[in-house]
Structure 1
Amino acid sequence: MDLGFQRHDAKSAKAITSELVDVYAKVYDVPPYIGDPFFSVESFRSRLEAAYDTEGFETVTARLDGRIVGYVHGATLPADKPWWVSLGNRRPTELVDLAGAGGIFWLRELMVLPELQNRGLGRQIHDTVIAGRTERVTVLTCIVGNEPAHGAYLRWGYTILGQIKHAPESPVYDAMYLPSC
């Protein structure tokens, strides 16, 4: 596969919003997400557009033959992010301090088109975004039972901090962190 990776700040990501949303629509067009309002394309678009205003927002896209086949987006973790705070003392003190200093990257979404999954592309996109970040630790949330993603994150070195919900209507997620990015 002859892939091209490109980094986008919030301004340049806004210009490709439709492409990013199209990838999301294809990735989440499977059970148990179909028909769940939390995973609707409209809901995702709203979350994505709100993320553009987050400090340190960035997306890395992978293109094949000119089309986006996978991407990741994230930002610097706000120390007061409700899901993060809800973990309480399950967060090691050094992570709490690091979040307060802006030293944690929050990997918000990582997706690869279904026809290209299980070929290592997700790992390439993941590693590309992290390699360009200044934060020392990465955190993410992964739906409990979302295989193969959940297992991949554990194989890549993530540790589970605890379970959270982003919103009352959201599923339960494992909050995970990867030290020393």
Structure 2
Amino acid sequence: MDAVRLRRLNRWQAEELREDLADLYVESSAVDSGEEFHGRQEFLHRLAHDVQQPGFDMLVAEAKALTGCAYGLPVARDGSWWQGFDGPLPQNLEQLTASGHVFAITETLVHPHEHARGLARRLQERLLADHQASLGVTLADQADHPALAAFEAWGWQEIGQIHRQPPAPTTLRVLVLRLGARTTEHPDGLAHNARTQRPE
């Protein structure tokens, strides 16, 4: 495989690359025949929304062509991102959110002919490390079993469900990727790390 390099895109560069990203989405998705156009349009709609959010950040992987991307945004300290979580939010998640150490990855795309597991995880971990996140979080459709299996293979763990309203009421699975050191006191790797506290 050709050497893959990672490159950061700002929101304007991401918008300029939107058609290529949509092509990558279609190539990397297990959509039924005939559903490609609908899925592509939904992806473009999500991308157009996400690039406008505060803190939006995207990494792309390129060899001779675009081979992957991951993007997302920091979870707001006020905890509004967790609205609709089914049941009480674990206290350590509240603390990490309030300290600004949670980053939501809203999309991960990898060309199916590339080394998907290694490249996807590399993109995700680089994006989270660049934001000094202690926890990555993402949402997955309950019916999207291939995506859920992929995230599990990349080290993500399901912690519950969340209900989202627009554009239609949806229940999604909440997956987290713990980046903190696991200790006897915090075997889940979710210790609040004061050393990485961001300045107010």
Q: Same fold (TM over 0.5)?
A: yes
Question: Greater Rg, structure 1 or structure 2?
Answer: 2
Change (3 A) 1:158 1:57: same
Is residue 160 of structure 2 the alignment partner of residue 162 of structure 1?
Answer: yes
Give the Cα separation in 2 of the matches to 1:29 and 1:176: 20
Equivalent positions of 1:1-181 (< 5 A) are 1=1, 2-28=3-29, 30-31=31-32, 34=35, 40-65=39-64, 67-78=65-76, 79-81=79-81, 84-116=82-114, 118=116, 120-144=118-142, 146-167=144-165, 169=168, 172-180=171-179
Task: Give 1:133 shift.
Answer: 1.6
Give the Cα separation in 1 of the matches to 2:88 and 2:32: 31
Task: Give 1:102 shift.
Answer: 2.8
Is residue 9–residue 58 contact of structure 1 (8 Å, CA) maintained in 2? yes
2:183 paired residue number = none
Change (3 A) 1:96 1:138: same
2:190 paired residue number = none
Change (3 A) 1:29 1:147: closer
Give the Cα separation in 1 of the matches to 2:149 and 2:12: 33
Give the AA of the match of 1:176.
Answer: L
Task: Give 1:49 shift.
Answer: 1.2
In structure 1, runs of 5+ residues without a counterpart are: none
Give the Cα separation in 1 of the matches to 2:5 and 2:127: 13
Is residue 26–residue 36 contact of structure 2 (8 Å, CA) maintained in 1? no
Give the AA of the match of 1:160.
Answer: E
3-state SS of paired residue (1:173) = strand
Change (3 A) 1:126 1:32: farther
Is residue 54–residue 76 contact of structure 1 (8 Å, CA) maintained in 2? no
Give the AA of the match of 2:60.
Answer: T
3-state SS of paired residue (2:158) = strand
3-state SS of paired residue (2:31) = coil
3-state SS of paired residue (1:114) = coil
In structure 2, runs of 5+ residues without a counterpart are: 181-200
Aligned length: 176
Give the Cα separation in 1 of the matches to 2:11 and 2:51: 5
Q: What do you get for the CA RMSD once the two structures are aligned?
A: 2.7
Change (3 A) 1:89 1:30: closer
3-state SS of paired residue (2:152) = helix
Q: Identity across aligned pairs (percent)?
A: 23
3-state SS of paired residue (2:113) = helix
